[in-house]
Amino acid sequence: MISPNGHGVAFPPDFLWGAATAAYQIEGGATEGGRTPSIWDTFSRTPGKVTGGHTGDVACDHYHRAPDDVKLMAELGLKSYRFSLAWPRIQPDGSGRLNSEGLDFYRRLVDDLLEHGIEPWVTLYHWDLPQALEDAGGWPVRDTAGRFAEYAELAHGALGDRVRYWTTLNEPWCSAFLGYGSGAHAPGRSDGADALRAAHHLMLGHGLAVQAMRAARPDDQLGITLNLYAISPQTDSPGDADAARRIDGLANRFFLDPVLRGQYPADVLRDLAEVSDFGHVRDGDLAVISTPLSVLGINYYSRYVVAAPDGGAPESYWRAPSNWPGSEGVRFVTRGAPVTDMNWEIDAPGLVEVLERVHREYPALPLYVTENGSAFVDTVVDGEVDDPDRLAYFDSHLRACHEAISAGVPLRGYFAWSLMDNFEWAWGYSKRFGMVYVDYESQLRIPKSSAKWYAGVIRQNGLGRSGQERPQRAQ
């Protein structure tokens, strides 16, 4: 059981408290310093793909405001900041020499973070493939894995003396299944077999990158970030149980098993037999993909409750099962639990489940929650933003983290998604996930009540009993 709200919980002394962002979602400066278009620039400029026709051209203008944003992080007391490098900013053609002007931006950012005592945590790929590489075939093409490994090695070489934590990929499930399967994300292609090829080449690129970085600096903390879900069948009927197995296979095990065990899950390969014969998997690939890691990053947002097929329509792009290869017809059930502005059900116990499951079923690794958070509609009143629902979401999920630690899970840190409101992919700026509010007109940043509360949590290294630490509405 999660301790009831109002109960104090203390975290381990060296727990890494952070917040996360991603390059395309915050930087802007889309054409500056030699940056070329990524698949998200192209996609967001394609009519009908992103809510409101929004693009990341300006976003939070972090490219010009990074020093002030770092000051804000320091004021919040963050111990670590997880951000991503824009591949097309530092290697505009997707191969060959790095662009020093693009690199300088990240060098300054890293220096500034270190000067403020904030540990930089770099994600190499958070979905912004250089358009040049998509034009050459994108992730369904094997060569892209090699391109990624080259980019990773060069970027690591350029920043590795100051950055200890490196994540290769953020959520390859989204890159592959939403980018090439449902088409809801860039590059917006929908071909099941391509999605599976993309997934494989993403993981291959990850493995090659880990090998290159490990060889260069053996002591670095290297990992990948997977988006994992708690999954339950709606009833205990065999049909619902099979739906849960299938979705768990596609969403969780399809990535966990190759990366941590060096094999694809056999039942999922059977489910996908009509989509692909997996002829793109070559001898030796899985050994590369399962190159040992130092850490595993987990992004957790929600639970899927699923049921046997009845032909019902999916409810949101996120859950576009008809377009995930292998999940045809599975029903995603809404239980009527409280939801966020993304319509994602709030389920903190699911986080305990995911953390314990990964620790129990896979080789033991230090785990980090590299993203967790919620979108809610925010309003500025007298220059302040009160966000009790977001605060309660963080509170309940941090209690879940604590419960997992108490049960023996080696969870070493937590990154709130997100530091500030930003470009929420296909939803543009219509969804706010930030602890810090961004007024996109003026670029003013306003720490919401959840940010002030989080600063208190970090200061105390835990959750207090009452007062400011007590959320107004608990889940």
The reply to whether 22 sits near ligand FCB by the rule CB under 6 A is yes
Is 126 assigned to a binding site? Answer: yes
Least Å distance, CB 342 to ligand FCB, is 7
The structure tokens listed for 130 are 């250089």
Decide: is 226 part of the binding site for ligand FCB (CB under 6 A). Answer: no
Residue 361: active-site member: no
Axis crossing angle, helix 100-115 with helix 143-159, rounded to the nearest 10: 50
Please give the Cα distance from 35 to 89 (Å, whole number).
4
Measured from the CB atom, the residue of 183 and 233 that comes closer to ligand FCB is 183
Residue 128 makes contact with ligand FCB by CB under 6 A: no
One character per residue 175-214, x = contact with ligand FCB (rule: CB under 6 A): ----------------------------------------
- Least CB distance to ligand FCB at residue 178 (A): 9
Binding to ligand FCB by residue 394, rule CB under 6 A?
Answer: no
Taking the least distance from each CB to ligand FCB, the nearer of 188 and 233 is 188
The maximal CA–CA distance of the chain, rounded, in angstroms, is: 62
Distance of closest approach, residue 344 Cβ to ligand FCB, in angstroms: 9
- In this structure, is the dihedral angle defined by the CA atoms of residues 137, 263, 148 and 56, taken in order, positive or negative? positive
Asked if 174 is part of the footprint of ligand FCB (rule: CB under 6 A), the reply reads yes
The arrangement of strands across the sheet holding 303-307 comes to 230-233, 303-307, 331-333
* Residue 31, token pair as written in the block: 């054409």
The one catalytic residue among 171, 345, 353, 403 = 171
Residue 417 annotated in ligand binding: yes
β-strands 119-125, 165-170 pairing: parallel
Residues 403-432 binding ligand FCB (CB under 6 A) are 417, 424-425
Q: Flag whether 422 is marked binding.
A: no
The answer to the question of whether 99 is labelled as a binding residue is no
DSSP alpha helix (H) spans, 225-347: 238-248, 254-261, 266-271, 285-289
| 371 contacts ligand FCB (rule: CB under 6 A) | yes
Contact indicator for 169, 205 with CB cutoff of 8 Å: yes
Catalytic site includes residue 171: yes
User: Can you tell me the distance from the alpha carbon of 95 to that of 19, in angstroms, rounded to the nearest whole number?
Assistant: 30
Q: CA 325 from chain center: how many Å?
A: 21
Closest distance to ligand FCB from the beta carbon of 3 (Å): 26
Q: How far apart are the first and last CA of the chain?
A: 13
Give yes or no for residue 170 binding ligand FCB (CB under 6 A): yes
Cα dihedral: 230, 437, 413, 464 (round 10): -90
What's the closest the beta carbon of residue 39 comes to ligand FCB, in angstroms?
14
Size of the site for ligand FCB (CB under 6 A): 12
435 contributes a contact to ligand FCB by CB under 6 A: no
- The least distance separating ligand FCB from the CB of residue 184, rounded to whole angstroms, comes to 12
Work out the number of other CB atoms within 10 angstroms of the CB of residue 282: 11
116 is annotated as contributing to ligand binding: no
Count the neighbouring beta carbons within 10 Å of the beta carbon of residue 283: 6
Phi first, then psi, for residue 56 (nearest 5°) are: -95, 20
> Per the annotation, where are the binding residues?
25, 126, 170, 301, 417, 424-425
Q: Which residues bind ligand FCB (CB under 6 A)?
A: 22, 25, 170-171, 174, 227, 299, 371, 417, 424-425, 433
> Per the annotation, where are the binding residues for substrate?
25, 126, 170, 301, 417, 424-425
Query: Would you name the residues annotated as active-site residues?
Result: 171, 371
